[in-house]
Every structure is written in C-alpha cells, then in structure tokens.
Chain A
Amino acid sequence: MQINYSSKTLKSNPIWYKLKQNKMTWVGIIILALIVLFSVIVPLFSPFDPNKIDLVNKFQPPSSQHWFGTDEVGRDIFTRILYGARLSLGVGILIIVIAAAIGIVIGTISGYIGGIVDTIIMRFVDMILAFPNLILAMALAAVLGPNLQNAMIAIAIVKIPVYIRLARGEAMLLKEKLFVKSAETFGINKGLIIIKHIIPNAISPVIIQATLDVGDTILLIATLGFLGLGAQPPTPEWGAMISIGWTYLLTYWWYPVFPGLFLFLSSGALNLIGDGIRDVLDPKSAR
C-alpha cells in the first residue's frame, strides 16, 4: 500500500516521533541520565572521600548521614558507588566503542570481499566464539596480568567477534543490493564501496548491538573485578565492591546490595535504550 507523501512533510523528523512513542526507552534514558548526573555532581559536594579509611565508622547501616551505609573500613558506599559509576560506565562504553569500531571494519571487509579473506577471518572468529565469553576474558586477563587496563583489553578481544559476525552478515546482504551493484558498474574500487555504501548501511544493527552490549560489558568488568582480575582495591569499581561485599551479605546486607542495584539499574537502562534505538533505526517498524 503506497501512499504518496509530498517531499515537504517528510522533513519533519521521524526519529523524534518514534522515540516519543517509545515509553520504555525514556525510562532507560532517565535512569541512565540520573546515574550519570549524580556521578558527576555528588562527588563535588559529598563530604566523603571514596578511599579514606575511617575505622570508627565501619559497617554503619544506611542512615541520614551515610545513605547506603559504610563498608568494612568505614568508607561511604553511596560516594563509592557514584565514583564507581564514572569508572564502570566510562570503561564499559569505551570498550564497546573500540570493539564495535574494529568489528565493523573487519566484518564488512570480510563480508564484502568474501573468498579466502573471509574464510581466514571467520576461522579466527569461530575460534574466539567457541569459548564462553567470561572464561576467555578471564584467561586473557589472567595472562595479561590483573589490572583494569588488561581487563579492558581482554573484554574488547572477547567482544570484537560478535561485531565482526554482525557486520559481515549485513555486508553480505548489502552486497546483493542494487545500489551496491550499481556502484560496482561505475568502476570505483572496493575500498571506496565499503566506506561509502557498506559501512554506513551496516552500522545501525551494530549500534543497536553495542547499546545492548554496554550493560553486559559492565557486568563483565564487574565479574572480572569480582574475581580479582579487574580493577584492584581500593579503586571504587562496582564489581570489586560487590565481590568483597558479598562475604558480608548476611550480616551487613547493604554492602553488596547497593552496588548490585546500581549495576542492575544501569545495565537494564542501557538495554531499554538499545531496544529503543533498534525501533528507531529499523525502517520496518515505521508507522
């Protein structure tokens, strides 16, 4: 059913319209915005130093002074969570941006060029994907040495193949599209076709996947932190906090629960945003 719209009306922005329709995306955006806002503002005004040891006040339950209580050396958990937010969110996003960028370049080349290049790349990808994410990241982080930077490299390596696969699949579909075929008839070289046609058209599923993956990556960093392979104490990283707090769950429940809650909220929020972006970018969901 085709309806003729004049070109004028199409100037109004459909992306905005679709975003407005999607309430859950807004829930995600608001949660994430609040976490980011707090993590920027609160440390400026907080009377507490995230790393200062105050043994007199250890294991204080939540109160008007220490909103989320204090930990085993008397640090304010609320302050540490918000410092941790800068770290966890920042690192999570950075890892994914790097992994997605590398993945889309390799993936589109692999998918578009095909042949032997594709075979070799895909063998590698299959190899990496054969291991469970976490195990491989753990092994890599352990080999590289336990610190945050190495944990980031390990997670990025684990994440890249997903994007290669995704971008390759898109590239293989796009290769058959008439606009790519017609670019081939002009006689312009393949690299240019990849840059001009394949990457721009393959990018939206990658962005969607990336948004969904940030939450997962934060969890991975946290898990590595939890296992002692990521950020080292006393860095206020969520995973590390949960990992230590875990042992106190029964006696001082607030210690692991609040960092866990923030982890849950931010990865949930990112998933909602990812879903929203998918709806916005997917032309088939157009109303």
Chain B
Amino acid sequence: MNYRDEFRDRKIVQGLAQRIATLAQGKGPFTFMEVCGTHTMAIYQYGLRQLMPPEVRLISGPGCPVCVTHNGYLDRALALCRLPDVIITTFGDMLRVPGSTSSLMHERARGGDIRIVYSPLDAVQVAVQNPGKKVVFLGVGFETTAPTIAGSILTAAKLGLKNYFVLASHKTMPTPMALLSADPELSLSGYICPAHVSAIIGAHAYQPLVDQFRIPCVVTGFEPTDVMQGIEMLVRQAVAGDARVEIQYSRVVSWEGNPKAQQVLAEVFTPCDADWRGIGTLPGSGLKIADRYAAFDAERALAVEVEPLKEHQGCLCGEILKGKVNPSDCPLFGKACTPENPVGACMVSSEGSCAAAHKYQ
C-alpha cells in the first residue's frame, strides 16, 4: 500500500463509472464544470471524459492561474526584467506566457536574469545571496499559492531584506463561480470544486453559491478515483434536485479550511478588484499586498515604464475560460496557436485547457 495506487485503481474507477451511468440514465443532460487546472489535467491525463455516459458532460472553467492572468501583468514583469539590476524569480509555467510583444522565455534568451524556483522561499534566498540586485517574485495563483507567497514576504521582513519584492496578481476563487452560475448560456448542473484551494478557504466558501443559485458543489480531490467519486456525488444531487456543499476530498479539506493560512493571508494581503483574462474585472476577486507591506510590492516600490497593451486577435481564450467553447473550436487551436508558439495563455500553462487538449486529445 503506497496511498497512491489505491487512488488510481482501475476496478474502483470502472465501478464508479458504472454507478454514474446508472444514476444518470434517462436523466439530465448534466453539465459539470471544474474550476481548477489540476482537475483539468487529471481529467485529460486519465481519459476520464471517455468514461462518462452521454448524459454527463464535463467542461473546464477559469481554473488555471496562469491562463487568467491579464496581459498587462506580463508586460509589467517583462519591463521589470529588462532593468539592469533586477532578477526575476518565477514558477516555471510563466516562462512561455506571451505578453503584448514578448515573453520571459524570449527575454531570458536575450540575457534577462530570470530564474525558475520551486518555492517563493527560494526566491527569498536568491535575494539574500544577491544583495546588490532587486529580486522580484512573480506572485500568481489562487489561495493555494498565496499563503506561501505571503509567508515569503513575512520571512523577508523578518530578515530585514530591502531587495525582495513580489509582483502580485493573486485571484480568489468563489467570485467567478458566481458569475458563471448566473450565465444562462452555460446552465451548469454543478461544480467540481477545487481541492487545495478549498483546503485553505474551507468548503463553507461555496455555501453562498448553493444558497443563491441552488447549484450542487462537491469539493473533489485530484486522483482519478476522487474525481469519479466527486462526479458521482454531483450526479446524485442533480438527479435528486438537491443543492448542497459536499466534501469528497475529506482526507484533506474541512468545512472551515486552514486557519493559520487564512491568518497569514489576512496579514499580508487585502482583497481587491482583479482583471481576469477573458472575463473582465471582478470586484473583490483578487488579493493585493497590504499597505503595511508596501515596501515589498514590486508594483509600488519599483518604477518602470510598461509598454502599451496589445491583445491577441482571434484568440478565444476568454470563451474557453468560461467553458463556453472547447479548445478545438478556436480557429487558432493547433494552427497559429501551439504549445511551442502559444497565442493565448490557455495554450501555455501545463494546466491550461488548450495545452491539456493539445497534449492528450
């Protein structure tokens, strides 16, 4: 027993597929949306769509943090990395994301000092080791990554560092789900709610969605048996006409979430309006660095001229992020837009819908 293979057990998955088919037979159609990039990947990677009966449709929502990051953010990061005394530190997924006219990958090839790190604390180390440089960490992600980035700011403050900065573009989850729930074009039957975001914010965060839109919400883990069981719970609710928050991923997620992480978030960040690529500005759907930590905020502390915004024409990223069209419906998919030469962010991130579809379909 290694606590991994058990969650990838073929018999259990096939059994759940059978149960889903039996439950849904002659009912529906049901459309369930996942709003976490890791779910998008798991569904493609294990070929779970093929295990669904015709009554059940799975669509992907705005769950990839790289994909929903606005072009303007990238342009600011690119402008910063062209400054002579700046080191950009980032998670690897940001490297290929196209800004208006360039990407970090291209800037690195031209000599920009851009370093991939696996943890924001590694970025703090880079700042310690390079006192003569300004080290900027690209803080992108949902509530899963935000606490560790908040932790890096607290660590830098404790160390008295004056050369560590975060360019923050954090998004928070339930807000876009409300927008999509109200969309008559989508008519969603339920949400496969994010796993690790929910570990931080707690499953109670989805209760307002249930109350307002009567939409089933099941917090689901990332392993194939998790996803299948989550879908089974959704089908069960949908067939019965129920709408509740349920936790499939109970080995990690609680109703209240992680109070320590929430406390760190509240200490370092404050809620703000955020620009979502393809969706627009959503009030209160982002996190910005609180005034008391303004010295660590790259946007406020480092002055730089940012090039004018240029949106990519013909890219259906926005509609894809809302689950309204499939990646292969985009006229650019696989032609002008490929993982090697991405036009839209959904093709860049390893967790983007288009990248997943291109890799696994």
A binds B: no
Which residues of B come within 8 Å of A, CB atoms? none
B-binding residues in A (CB < 8 A): none
